Amino acid sequence: MIEVRAPAKLNLGLEVLRRRADGYHEIETVFVPLRLFDRMLLKRSPAGRGIGARRSAGADLPVDGTNLVVRAPERAPPRSAFRWTCACGSRNRIPIGAGLGGGSSDAAAALLGLEALSARELPRELRRKLALELGADVPFFWTRSRRSARGVGEQLAGAPGHSRDALGAGGLPVQISTAWAYTEAGRELTLPRDPTSIAALLRPAGLLSPPRNDLEAVGARRHPEIREAQRSLARAGALATGMSGSGPTVFGRFEDERAAQRAAETVEVPAGARTIATSSPGSASADWTAGSWRWGVAKR
C-alpha cells in the first residue's frame, strides 16, 4: 500500500486573451500549489479485478467514472492489474467545487501512484497525453512549484524569484460554472488582446496589489459574497486580495503564516464559508518533501 498526497492550487490572476475556434478561451495565469492536500491510499490487488475507488468516511466523492481518480488509471497500462482504494478525507481535505483543483490534483496523484505501484515511470509524452485528456490543469500537478500558464492552462513555464506566500483563503457556499463565467466575461472583453498584468506577478514584489482576474467581476455581480469576503480579508490584514480562477474561492496575502492563521480564525465571512490558512512553497526542494507536507509517494 502507498500513500499519495495531492495538493490544492490557487490561480493568482487570470487574463482571458482570446476565444479559440473550439470554443475554449486562451488565458494567462499563475498556478500556485498550496500546503492543503487530499490524501489517497492506493493498493495492488489480484489481476483482473479492474479499477475501483472507495471513498473514506464522510467524504462526499463519486466512485464511478465521473471521478477523475477512477478515469486516470483506466487510460494507462497496465490497467487490469490494480484495484484502486482511495481515501480522500483528512483534516486538510480540499473542499469540493471550490476551484482549488482538487479533482485534477487527485487525477495526477492517481497517475503518480500507478507509476509507483508498477515500479516504472510512464513515458514523458504518454504522461502528458493522459494528463491533458483528463483536464487542462492536470499537467501542472506533476510540478512542484508555481508556474505561469498559457493556452488553456496546459502551457507551463517556470515562475522563479518568489519567497513563500502566506495565504488565507475562503471557500464560499456558492457554485460558479466555469463555462458561464468565461461566456459572461467574454461578452465584456475586447478579444483578442495581449496580456497586461500577469507578468507583474512573476517579479519579486509578488502580490503587492490585487492580481487582475477577468472572471472576477462577473462572478462578484452574481455573488456579492465574493466582494464581502475580500473586504473582510483586507480588514483582517491582507496585503492584497483576489479570487482564484472562476471562483468562488477568494484569498488574501499576509505578512507571514501567523498573520494568515489569525485572519482565518477571526475573519468575518458569509454563513457556510470555510476559511483556511495555508502557504505556497518557496521552492521545489525539501519544502515539499519533508515531514507531513510530503508531495509525492510514501510506502506504508
Of the candidates 235, 193, 241, 195, the residue with the CA atom closest to the CA atom of residue 216: 241
- Catalytically annotated residue among 9, 38, 106, 165: 9
Instruction: Tell me if residue 22 is catalytic.
Output: no
Q: Please report the DSSP string for 132-177 in residue order.
A: HHH-TTTGGGGSSS-EEEETTTTEEEE--S--PPEEEEEE-S----
**Cα diameter, the chain:** 57
Of the candidates 140, 149, 175, 150, the residue with the CA atom closest to the CA atom of residue 246: 175
Number of residues in the chain: 300
- Catalytically annotated residue among 137, 165, 214, 287: 137
> Do the beta carbons of residue 109 and residue 60 sit within 8 Å?
no
Q: At residue 52, what are phi and psi to the nearest 5 degrees?
A: -140, 170
Instruction: Tell me if residue 137 is catalytic.
Output: yes
Rounded CA-CA distance 227/217 in Å is 9
Q: At residue 197, what are phi and psi to the nearest 5 degrees?
A: -130, -15
Of the candidates 239, 264, 265, 235, the residue with the CA atom closest to the CA atom of residue 252: 239
Q: At residue 282, what are phi and psi to the nearest 5 degrees?
A: -80, -20
Active site (catalytic) residues: 9, 137
